[in-house]
């Protein structure tokens, strides 16, 4: 048996000013062929689980590409075509397909990146079973449903079950091939845009929805997935979805999907997040820090790298300084211009330069960069190995990095946007984050499994960047209306 296994991951924020060329996928572009296999083998990805499951059967593996980029603006058409063509061109002669996809990709030439890819794969292999693993934040479309035999998403956010999701999808694929199951897909999608900060799976409405999905699996459904969607994609339906894989009985699967979707709709207020003012949030952090012997986390979710943020807004830093906070460590802050200046000056030099608010002003009300004077403490290649639990053992690339010490704060500056999902973002440049009084991180969730254990507490801070929880900042032109909460009177 010959099995096609590939990975294409991108969460697209159509409001983001961050470009997504082919080079954004990986260190300098996707991994192809044997490199795609090696990039995933033994890692905590769905593709890794696909590889292991296929190898246990003795199948011949075809791994044309592994392409994963940080969330950002729409994927360049040339990049999208290159990745999709690699997958479709490799499909010839394959007996089955397993794809590790995100589910919320928008390209310059496709509003439904995964759906259009799956349609092409299905056309190339009309009789081959297709299994798909998706991110919990996937925006499901009918085209995706129509062109897959098995669809399973992560059940955790922060995402720590990527490999388990892939193993689940692979198990169902081989059950189908071996005649042990007859997977059928049903789905339901209420008119609800969710806030990412309310899609955490450990509490609230999302926890209740995931628990309902797990109960339905225990009661006989092959897989039940709750996909919160990614609302910062201005496409027709960036909405929450329930996808159910039943065993031969589509009507029963549809009933489960409808029941859980109705529960979600009735619980819709639990998916809505209201941001306090930035000044109030920073002041709350200052109170938390009194007498603390561990850092207080100030999470800048309005400029969150892993939702497409420019990673260079200075709002939280400026407010913290205005309120007299000291002992600050912040980063990674993406400013390639500043990094170039610091590299030229060298470690130990005192420099004055403008930092931040450069890329972000293309998408928001212009704010000038902040003029800072400080000492350069470190210069590195910006690479480190992730300790986990997310993307464990994978190598991370921040671009070249520098540390600027301005007295009240040590600022980690990088050439690329980068999620602080590991202590390595600081330890790789010689900073011990445990010794900070305040850690300003451009993050919503991914930082939490690593940084919460070393912290005294955390405060969510909305810098009103392109990943803000305030939908009023964004001009939605393509979203089908009415939809809650854009339309308070939306019904279902």
CB distance 425 to 306 below 8 Å: no
CB distance 382 to 401 below 8 Å: yes
pLDDT at 356: 95
Q: Which residues contact 338 (CB under 8 A, 6 or more apart)?
A: 353, 354, 355, 356, 402, 404, 413
The Cα–Cα gap between 6 and 15 comes to: 28
**Cα-flanking dihedrals φ and ψ of residue 226, to 5°?**
-105, 115
Neighbours of 126 (CB within 10 A): 7
pLDDT at 115: 98
Strands 60-62 and 65-68: unpaired
The Cα–Cα gap between 355 and 366 comes to: 14
Query: How many C-alpha atoms does 374 have within 13 Å on its Cβ side?
Result: 24
Q: Which of 130, 158, 157 is nearest to 144 (CA)?
A: 130
pLDDT at 85: 98
* The two three-digit tokens of residue 100, written as one number: 């590790």
Beta strands in 13-56 (DSSP E): 31-32
pLDDT at 433: 98
CB distance 193 to 484 below 8 Å: yes
pLDDT at 392: 83
Bridge partners, residue 67, by sequence = 8
CB distance 159 to 206 below 8 Å: no
pLDDT at 367: 84
The Cα–Cα gap between 20 and 148 comes to: 26
Domains and CATH numbers, the chain: 2-271 (3.40.50.2300), 278-468 (no CATH)
The Cα–Cα gap between 123 and 411 comes to: 50
Q: Starting from the edge strand earliest in sequence, which strands make up the sheet with 296-300, in order?
A: 350-355, 370-380, 401-405, 409-414, 328-334, 438-441, 296-300, 457-461
* The two three-digit tokens of residue 96, written as one number: 């089955």
pLDDT of the chain along its 492 residues, tens only? 999 999 999 999 999 999 999 999 988 899 999 999 999 999 999 999 999 999 999 999 999 999 999 999 999 999 999 999 999 999 999 999 999 999 999 999 999 999 999 999 999 999 999 999 999 999 999 999 999 999 999 999 988 899 999 999 999 999 999 999 999 999 999 999 999 999 999 999 999 999 999 999 999 999 999 999 999 999 999 999 999 999 999 999 999 999 999 999 999 999 999 989 999 999 999 999 999 999 999 999 999 988 999 999 999 999 999 999 999 999 999 999 999 999 999 999 999 999 999 987 766 667 899 999 999 999 999 999 998 887 788 889 999 999 999 999 999 999 999 999 899 999 999 999 999 999 999 998 889 999 999 999 999 999 888 999 999 989 999 999 999 999 999 999
pLDDT at 363: 66
Strands 65-68 and 96-101: unpaired
pLDDT at 336: 97
CB distance 182 to 173 below 8 Å: no
pLDDT at 173: 98
pLDDT at 227: 98
Q: Which residues contact 89 (CB under 8 A, 6 or more apart)?
A: 64
pLDDT at 364: 63
100 three-class SS: strand
Bridge partners, residue 392, by sequence = none
Q: Which of 461, 453, 413 is nearest to 433 (CA)?
A: 453
Q: How far is CA 323 from CA 320, 462, 488, in A?
A: 5, 16, 36
**Cα-flanking dihedrals φ and ψ of residue 478, to 5°?**
-110, -10
């Amino acid at each position: 048996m010959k099995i096609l296994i590939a990975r294409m991951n991108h969460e697209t924020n159509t409001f983001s000013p961050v470009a997504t060329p082919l080079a954004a996928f990986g260190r300098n572009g996707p991994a192809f062929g044997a490199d795609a296999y090696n990039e995933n083998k033994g890692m905590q990805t769905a593709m890794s689980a696909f590889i292991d499951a296929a190898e246990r059967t003795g199948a011949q593996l075809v791994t044309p590409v592994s392409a994963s980029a940080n969330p950002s603006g729409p994927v360049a058409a040339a990049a999208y075509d290159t990745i999709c063509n690699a997958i479709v061109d490799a499909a010839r002669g394959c007996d089955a397909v397993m794809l590790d996809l995100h589910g919320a990709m928008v390209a310059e030439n496709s509003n439904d990146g995964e759906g259009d890819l799956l349609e092409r794969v299905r056309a190339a292999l009309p009789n081959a079973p297709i299994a798909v693993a998706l991110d919990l934040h996937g925006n499901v479309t009918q085209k995706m449903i129509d062109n897959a035999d098995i669809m399973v998403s992560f059940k955790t956010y922060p995402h720590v079950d990527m490999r388990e999701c892939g193993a689940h999808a692979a198990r169902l694929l081989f059950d189908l091939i071996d005649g042990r199951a007859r997977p059928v897909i049903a789905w339901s999608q209420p008119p609800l845009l969710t806030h990412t900060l309310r899609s955490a799976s450990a509490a609230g409405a999302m926890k209740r929805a995931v628990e309902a999905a797990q109960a339905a699996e225990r009661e006989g459904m092959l897989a039940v997935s709750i996909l919160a969607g990614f609302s910062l994609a201005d496409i027709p339906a960036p909405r929450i979805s329930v996808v159910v894989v039943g065993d031969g009985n589509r009507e029963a699967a549809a009933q489960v999907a409808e029941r859980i979707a109705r529960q979600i709709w009735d619980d819709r207020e639990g998916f809505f997040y209201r941001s306090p003012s930035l000044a109030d949030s920073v002041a709350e952090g200052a109170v938390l820090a009194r007498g603390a012997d561990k850092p207080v986390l100030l999470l800048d979710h309005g400029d969150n790298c892993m939702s497409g943020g420019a990673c260079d807004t200075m709002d939280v830093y400026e407010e913290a300084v205005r309120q007299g906070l000291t002992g600050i460590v912040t980063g990674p802050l993406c400013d390639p211009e500043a990094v170039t200046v610091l590299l030229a000056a060298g470690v130990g030099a005192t420099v004055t330069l403008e930092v931040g608010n450069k890329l972000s002003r293309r998408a928001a009300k212009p704010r000038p960069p902040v003029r800072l004077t400080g000492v350069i403490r470190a210069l590195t290649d910006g690479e480190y190995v992730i300790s986990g639990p997310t993307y464990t053992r994978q190598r991370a690339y921040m671009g070249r990095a520098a540390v600027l010490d301005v007295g009240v704060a040590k600022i980690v500056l990088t050439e690329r946007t980068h999620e602080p999902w590991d202590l390595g973002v600081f330890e790789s440049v010689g900073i011990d984050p445990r010794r900070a009084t305040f850690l300003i991180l451009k993050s919503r969730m991914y930082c939490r499994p690593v940084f919460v254990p070393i912290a005294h507490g955390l405060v969510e801070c909305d810098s009103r960047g392109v990943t803000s929880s305030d939908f009023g900042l964004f001009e939605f032109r393509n979203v089908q209306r009415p939809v809650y909460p854009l339309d308070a009177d939306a019904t279902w």
